[in-house]
Amino acid sequence: MFAPAGSPKEKLSIVLVLGIAQTIAWASTYYLPAVLAVPMATDFGIQSTGIFGLFSLALIVAAIAGPVSGRLIDRFGGKPILCGTSVLFALCLVLMAQASSMWQLTLAWLGIGIGLAGGLYEAAFATVVRLYGRSARGAITGITLLGGFASTLGWPLTAYLEAGYGWRSACLFWAAVNIAVCLPLYCCLPRREAPGPQVAADMKPGGSTKFDLRMALLAFFFSATAFSSAAMATHLPGVLQAAGITAAGAIMVGMLVGPSQVGARLLEFTLMKKLRPMLTAMLAVAMHPAGALLFLVFGAPVAALLGVFHGLGNGLLTIVKGALPLEIFGAQGYGERQGILMAPARLAQASAPWLFGLAVTQWGAGALALTTALGVSSLLALVMLDRHSAN
């Protein structure tokens, strides 16, 4: 049972519920290919790039389905949508585990893509915004703080299951966890038929989801940072090795990213919680270019700074993607707006591993110039957005 509606205890309970469930949702879907792509591809007699291609297809489906999912959350609240995605994830993971042909595997990934649109951070953020309006920023930070452990917990556990029991058993395990843990957690969420009076008041300003200059600038910011995040998630070790760093050294630098992300979210939750989301966004987007430039100039001796700076920025960006639209547009239509804004970002995520891989092949560590340029462009877009929003 939750505490009285709107109380700090209720908000803490909701953060715990969504944070735990989001950790599982990310670990059982988004982070699966990194561990299971090779054994899955071997089983089907294809290259691992084929599995990553199916994952990219899932992200494209998520981009298309995102606005619809957000609109449903705006109308009905997050509880039924999140419950539905837990069931959908479980069904698709079972189908994946039982797949004997490529069309069955493709169908499973297409279903996962629909679930990604309504089962990850954007849906969780829209849920707490519908409950708490403009005061949802702290809840957004708390959810990402817990969700930041998804890869830290998910990758080793998935790898252990795959090594001991096979990739199909790993999929069945995550299907069971979605049903046994996530679904009951989501069922515990309060179901308010309409926002409370204070939240309803929050929803009056900026309620239209009409695409204007502010939306365009924000969509570019989301897309550029999503591209860089996905590029680093798949190619950071390769970039470091292209600069002459050993494989072991590259892995060590990569291991700094996760703790740095969590550290950044702790800072936002404590010391930075009163900072304007726009200022937090500017600080966040400057982190990766700063680390990349230091690495390009000084090389291997400062490689650790690239990992730390990228992790710090990435950790803050996850919060910003929930809090910044809330600050600029208000709570009205938040879910649908997030779906619209994240659609091009999903496409950028889907294309980043391939496009940045080409850049690394051609330029080696110099490919960081691409993500640096995107970071600087994103910072300029935020400056323009801040000025336009103030008028």
What is the chain's pLDDT, residue by residue, as a tens digit (391 residues)? 455 555 678 888 899 999 999 999 998 998 888 778 889 999 999 887 788 889 889 989 988 898 888 888 888 888 899 999 999 999 999 999 999 999 999 999 999 999 999 998 888 988 888 888 878 888 888 888 888 777 778 878 888 899 899 999 999 999 999 999 999 999 988 865 445 545 544 544 444 555 588 999 999 999 999 999 888 877 788 888 888 888 788 878 877 887 888 888 888 878 777 788 899 999 999 999 999 999 999 988 899 999 999 999 998 998 888 888 888 888 888 888 888 888 899 889 888 888 888 888 889 889 999 999 999 999 999 999 988 876 6
The pTM of this model reads 0.80
Which pLDDT score is estimated for 31? 83
213-390 and 8-201 share a CATH fold? yes
What top-level class would CATH report for the domain 8-201? mainly alpha
List the structure tokens of 101: 């042909």
Residue for token digits 């059982």? 28
Whole-number Å distance between alpha carbons of 83 and 190: 12
Residue 209 DSSP SS3 = coil
Residue 4 DSSP label: S
Q: How far apart are CA 206 and CA 162, in angstroms?
A: 48
Q: Tell me, what's the pLDDT at 91?
A: 97
How would DSSP label each residue in 142-201? HHHHHHTTHHHHHHHHHHHHHHHH-HHHHHHHHHHHIIIIIHHHHHTS---SS--HHHHH
Buried b (16+ CB within 10 A) or exposed e, 243-276: bebeeebbebbbebbbebbbebbebbeeebeeee
pLDDT score at 294: 94
pLDDT at residue 196, rounded to an integer: 53
Domain ranges of the chain: 8-201, 213-390
Residue 361, both tokens: 């092949």
- Residues in the chain, total: 391
Q: How far is 266 from 259, CA to CA, in rounded Å?
A: 10
pLDDT score at 203: 47
Fold of 213-390: Growth Hormone; Chain: A; (1.20.1250)
Q: Do the Cβ atoms of 225 and 378 come closer than 8 Å?
A: yes
* Integer Cα distance of 358 and 49 in angstroms: 14
Specify whether the CB–CB gap between 267 and 314 falls below 8 A.
no
φ and ψ of 47, to 5 deg: -75, 150
